[in-house]
Amino acid sequence: MSEKKAKLIFKHNSFDIIEEGDYVLCAVSGKKIKLQDLNYWNVELQEAYYSPAEVDEKYKKLNK
């Protein structure tokens, strides 16, 4: 069974699926995030994050 990358539009409390798929990639680590496990994203940047650690890393990078 092959997995397919999904395309999403991130909203403040949800996301819309533009192209069906099983996962998205973390913008910081590149790790696969299954859609059912996706909890962290940035609406303005339209990026997904694997965990709070990646969110923190991105925040620090943006605020240097």
Radius of gyration of the chain (CA): 12
Residue 46 belongs to domain spanning: 7-62
Total number of domains constituting the chain: 1
Is 1 contained in some domain?
Answer: no
7-50 residue pLDDT tens: 999 999 999 999 999 999 999 999 999 999 999 999 999 999 99
pLDDT of 59 strictly over 60: yes
What's the gap between Cα 38 and its chain centre?
7
CA distance linking residue 38 with residue 26, whole number of Å: 10
The DSSP code for 26 is: B
pTM: 0.91
pLDDT of 1 strictly over 70: no
Please indicate whether residue 51 or residue 2 has the higher confidence score (pLDDT): 51
Is 12 contained in some domain?
Answer: yes
